[in-house]
């Protein structure tokens, strides 16, 4: 994901920017650039590829100056080339911006700006910000802060934006969704998208909140909201080492990534949902009427996202879907034809079984689509189309935020197919779209401290169980499977996941007083049936841990433990519900002293058969 570094003070800006960007390299990127102010001139240098390409050029031909902004870009709109790299400047080169995030209404803004004579050089959504701010700048008599503020009032989307102007020795920045942190020095100020970039320079930091704007000068900063009202933000003393900083102050990457899910989901959904029309724009070159069946292929957690996808696509778009574990698909001589759309799902884009299954599908003549997190990964080079989930780097071995973003992407795909094939009315489309839009907020609610504390207490109470059973039905049957996988991989407790209705066909024999049974029993068409399955467990002395929708006090009587989760539309509920199961696994494993980020015998990316 993109990285941002800004500096104003008396050091060489080039040196601060390059060292800061290098500390953000672990987040992944495909181009890099800096803008440095020298007197009343701003010089921009940017290069596709690794930071070393840019730093090599800057070492040969250094830029002097003590104010600058730098960026590493992970392409969303437009190819990863020199022109699309940030910073972006206005035609006169005086105003320069960098931007993380996605501007949802950039096309409308761009059309207006072009009609008013602005010339665009890149294909990025970000460049509209430079032109829009320039226009406002003239209207507000050269007040840079006010120009940025007014421009942002016309922008819809997610942004961490940083702006500088040749006639102002200051940096103006703002954020919504995309993170920004300020570093406070003596006679110097720093800015970054992430703490590690600033650690060598200062430990005094200010975490900007959503909707904050800030002006940085040599001797300090001032924060306002987007309406221009002053806002007080405290300077915090950060004592993290480099590793703790990469974990954002959390104990583990996994926990950090669980908490990153609202932002990751926002990034998955942003710019793709159109409330007014109930339409979804996926920016893929796929003809929705060109195939008659869909084959979803993936491994592990990604496979479970595929199972949710099967349910959503068949329900909403009425296309037959089959889901395969990639290691089986590649050897079972599958029936593939030109009528098949093969969808591979992968966080890393490198899993060898999935990659080989993709090749098998291609050999059979299928059209291929990937739901992928890692840009530029092997699969993306072989796929016909890629729908990136934009979840950001996932470092913890156990997948969490990639899973919820994959399910979010499957939901959008199902909606897109359904609308294109006329199986979903505009009204129903709008309802689901609203439900999808609510996901980041609902996941944030699922992470409220009181809920997390409750899950932790339950996890610790049952942490010494030998086995666990997870049950769910319908669209949440895969949630149960994912809950069981998460628990076994990080806690090493044996866990099974089952479709609740299937329990009586065998697993019921396992049930006794020592077996905790987690049942996803949130609001759904099948809730009554799920509760019947719960009764079957209770009748055999099993310990029932029920996931119930907020406010469902009636069904609480059937449980030994209740974990309440925020209410959500049934079709999107797997995203909200799984968060409680991720936390249950996490706290179980942490209580048992497991190395949560590096579970035994597992690797983040499985590139061997």
Q: Which residues are catalytic?
A: 2, 604
Tell me the window of 29-37, 104-112, 163-171, 297-305 that interacts with ligand F6R (CB under 6 A). Answer: 297-305
Residue span binding ligand F6R (CB under 6 A) among the ranges 93-101, 248-256, 346-354, 492-500: 346-354
Residues between 186 and 215 with contacts to ligand F6R, criterion CB under 6 A: none
SS (H, E, C) 432-460: HHHHHHCHHHHHHHHCCHHHHHHHHHHHH
Contact 84, 78 (CB under 8 A): yes
**Listed ranges 93-101, 116-124, 347-355, 356-364: which one lies at the site for ligand F6R (CB under 6 A):** 347-355
For the bound state, the minimum distance from the C-beta of residue 185 to ligand F6R, rounded and expressed in Å, comes to: 40
Residue number with CB closer to ligand F6R (301 or 588): 301
Considering only residues 381 through 410, tell me which ones interact with ligand F6R, judged by CB under 6 A. Answer: 398-399
Between 326 and 439, CB nearer to ligand F6R: 326
Residue 578: CB minimum distance to ligand F6R, A: 11
Give the span between the Cα atoms of 352 and 95, in whole angstroms.
46
Cis peptide upstream of residue 359 (ω within 30 degrees of 0): no
Q: In whole angstroms, how close is the CB of 598 to ligand F6R at the nearest point?
A: 12
Q: Which stretch binds ligand F6R (CB under 6 A): 298-306, 383-391, 495-503, 554-562?
A: 298-306
CA distances, 74 to each of 23, 36, 123, 219, 529 (Å):
16, 21, 14, 32, 46
Q: Interface mask (CB under 6 A) for ligand F6R, residues 299-328, using x and -?
A: xxxx--------------------------
With CB under 6 A as the rule, give the number of residues binding ligand F6R: 15
Place of tokens 């034809």: 337
Q: Does residue 309 contact residue 574 with C-beta atoms inside 8 Å?
A: no
- Residue 224 has a CB neighbour count (10 Å cut-off) of 17
Q: Which is nearer to ligand F6R, 29 or 303 (CB)?
A: 303
- Using DSSP's 3-state secondary structure scheme, residue 159 falls into strand
* Token pair for 256: 């950090």
Q: Which of 104, 134, 135, 489 binds ligand F6R (CB under 6 A)?
A: 489
- Spatial CA neighbour of 533 closest among 480, 471, 483: 471
Binding to ligand F6R by residue 606, rule CB under 6 A?
yes
Q: Give one DSSP letter per residue of 468-494, joined into a string.
A: EEEEE-GGGHHHHHHHHHHHHHHH--E
The minimum distance between CB 352 and ligand F6R, in angstroms, equals 9
| Closer Cβ to ligand F6R, 351 or 555, answer by number | 351
Q: Which stretch in 57-65, 204-212, 342-350, 383-391 sits in contact with ligand F6R by CB under 6 A?
A: 342-350
Nearest to 5 by CA among 221, 201, 168: 201
Shortest Å distance, C-beta 214 to ligand F6R: 37
Nearest approach, Cβ of residue 606 and ligand F6R (Å) = 5
Of 350-379, binders to ligand F6R (CB under 6 A) are 351, 354
Is 25 strand, coil or helix? helix
Measured at CB, which residue is nearest to ligand F6R?
Answer: 300
Sheet holding 561-565, edge to edge: 494-499, 467-472, 516-520, 543-549, 561-565
**Shortest gap between Cβ of 373 and ligand F6R (angstroms)?**
7
- Whether the Cβ atoms of residue 511 and residue 517 lie closer than 8 Å to each other: yes
Which residues partner with 321 through β-bridges? Answer: 294
Q: Between 106 and 388, whose beta carbon lies closer to ligand F6R?
A: 388
Nearer of residues 354 and 568 to ligand F6R, judged by Cβ: 354
Among 72, 347, 476, 582, binds ligand F6R (CB under 6 A): 347
For residue 520, the minimal CB distance to ligand F6R (Å) is 18
Name the minimum Å distance from CB 376 to ligand F6R. 14
What's the half-sphere exposure (Cβ side, CA atoms, 13 Å) at 572?
26
Q: 155 vs 485, which CB is nearer to ligand F6R?
A: 485
Measured from the CB atom, the residue of 471 and 485 that comes closer to ligand F6R is 485
Round to whole Å and give the CA distance between 476 and 456.
22
Q: How far apart are CA 495 and CA 470, in angstroms?
A: 7
Nearer to ligand F6R, 301 or 549 (CB): 301
Residue number, 126 or 354, with CB nearest to ligand F6R? 354
End-to-end CA separation in angstroms for the chain: 29
**CA 562 to CA 560: how far, in whole Å?**
7
Residue keyed to tokens 């294109």: 420
Q: Cβ 324 to ligand F6R, closest distance in Å?
A: 13
Enter the tokens of residue 139. Answer: 């209207």
| Candidate ranges 35-43, 209-217, 296-304, 570-578; the one touching ligand F6R (CB under 6 A) | 296-304
Phi-psi region for residue 249, left (φ > 0), alpha (ψ -120 to 50) or beta? Answer: left
Q: What is the DSSP string of 379-399?
A: HHHH-SEEEE-------SSS-
CA distances from 104 to 108, 110, 156 (A): 9, 11, 5
Map residues 429-468 to x or -, x wherever contact with ligand F6R holds by CB under 6 A.
----------------------------------------
Residues that bind ligand F6R (CB under 6 A): 299-302, 346-348, 351, 354, 398-399, 485, 489, 605-606
């Amino acid at each position: 994901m993109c990285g941002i570094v800004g500096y104003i003070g008396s050091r060489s800006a080039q040196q601060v920017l390059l060292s800061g960007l290098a500390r953000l390299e672990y987040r992944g990127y495909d181009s890099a650039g800096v803008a440095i102010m020298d007197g009343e001139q701003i010089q921009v240098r940017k290069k596709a590829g690794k930071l070393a390409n840019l730093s090599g050029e800057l070492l040969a031909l250094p830029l002097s100056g003590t104010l600058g902004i730098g960026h590493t870009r992970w392409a969303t709109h437009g190819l990863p080339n020199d022109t699309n790299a940030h910073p972006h400047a206005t035609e006169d080169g005086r105003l320069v911006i960098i931007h993380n995030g996605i501007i949802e209404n950039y096309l409308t803004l761009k059309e207006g700006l072009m009609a008013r004579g602005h010339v665009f050089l890149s294909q990025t959504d970000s460049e509209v910000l430079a032109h829009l701010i320039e226009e406002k700048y003239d209207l507000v008599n050269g007040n840079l802060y006010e120009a940025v503020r007014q421009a942002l009032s016309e922008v819809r989307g997610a942004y961490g934006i940083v702006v500088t102007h040749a006639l102002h020795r200051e940096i103006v920045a703002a954020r919504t969704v995309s993170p920004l942190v300020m570093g406070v020095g003596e006679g110097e100020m720093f800015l970054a998208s992430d703490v590690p970039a600033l650690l060598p320079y200062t430990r005094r930091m200010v975490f900007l909140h959503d909707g904050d704007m800030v002006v940085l000068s040599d001797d300090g900063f001032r924060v306002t909201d987007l309406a221009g009202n002053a806002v007080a933000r405290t300077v915090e003393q950060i004592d993290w080492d480099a590793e703790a900083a990469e974990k954002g102050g959390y104990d583990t990457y996994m926990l950090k990534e669980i908490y990153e899910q609202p932002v990751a989901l926002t990034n998955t959904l942003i710019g793709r949902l159109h409330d007014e029309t109930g339409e979804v724009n996926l920016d893929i070159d796929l003809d929705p009427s060109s195939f008659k069946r869909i084959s979803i292929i993936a491994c592990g957690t990604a496979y479970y996202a595929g199972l949710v996808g099967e349910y959503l696509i068949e329900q909403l778009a009425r296309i037959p879907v089959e889901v395969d574990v990639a290691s089986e698909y590649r050897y079972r001589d599958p029936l593939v034809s030109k009528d098949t759309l093969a969808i591979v799902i992968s966080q890393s884009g490198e899993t060898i079984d999935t990659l080989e299954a993709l090749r098998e599908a291609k050999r059979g003549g299928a059209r291929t689509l990937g739901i992928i997190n890692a840009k530029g990964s092997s699969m993306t080079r072989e796929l016909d189309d890629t729908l990136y989930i934009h979840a950001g780097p996932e470092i913890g071995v156990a997948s969490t935020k990639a899973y919820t973003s994959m399910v979010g992407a499957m939901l959008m795909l199902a909606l897109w197919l359904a609308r294109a094939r006329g199986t979903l009315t505009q009204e129903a489309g709008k309802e689901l779209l609203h439900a999808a839009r609510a996901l980041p907020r609902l996941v944030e609610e699922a992470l409220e401290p009181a809920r997390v504390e409750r899950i932790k207490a339950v996890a610790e109470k049952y942490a010494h169980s030998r086995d666990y059973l997870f049950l769910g039905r319908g669209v949440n049957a895969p949630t149960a499977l994912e809950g069981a996988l998460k628990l076994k991989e990080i806690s090493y407790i044996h866990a099974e996941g089952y479709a609740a209705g299937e329990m009586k066909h065998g697993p019921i024999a396992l049930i006794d007083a020592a077996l905790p049974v987690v049942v996803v029993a949130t609001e759904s068409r099948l809730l009554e049936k799920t509760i019947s399955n719960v009764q079957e467990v209770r009748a055999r002395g099993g310990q029932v841990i029920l996931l119930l929708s907020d406010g469902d006090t009636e069904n609480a009587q059937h449980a030994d433990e209740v974990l309440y989760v925020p209410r959500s539309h049934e079709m999107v509920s797997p995203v909200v519900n799984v968060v409680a199961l991720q936390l249950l696994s996490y706290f179980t494993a942490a209580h048992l002293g497991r190395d949560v980020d590096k579970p035994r015998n597992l690797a983040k990316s499985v590139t061997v058969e």
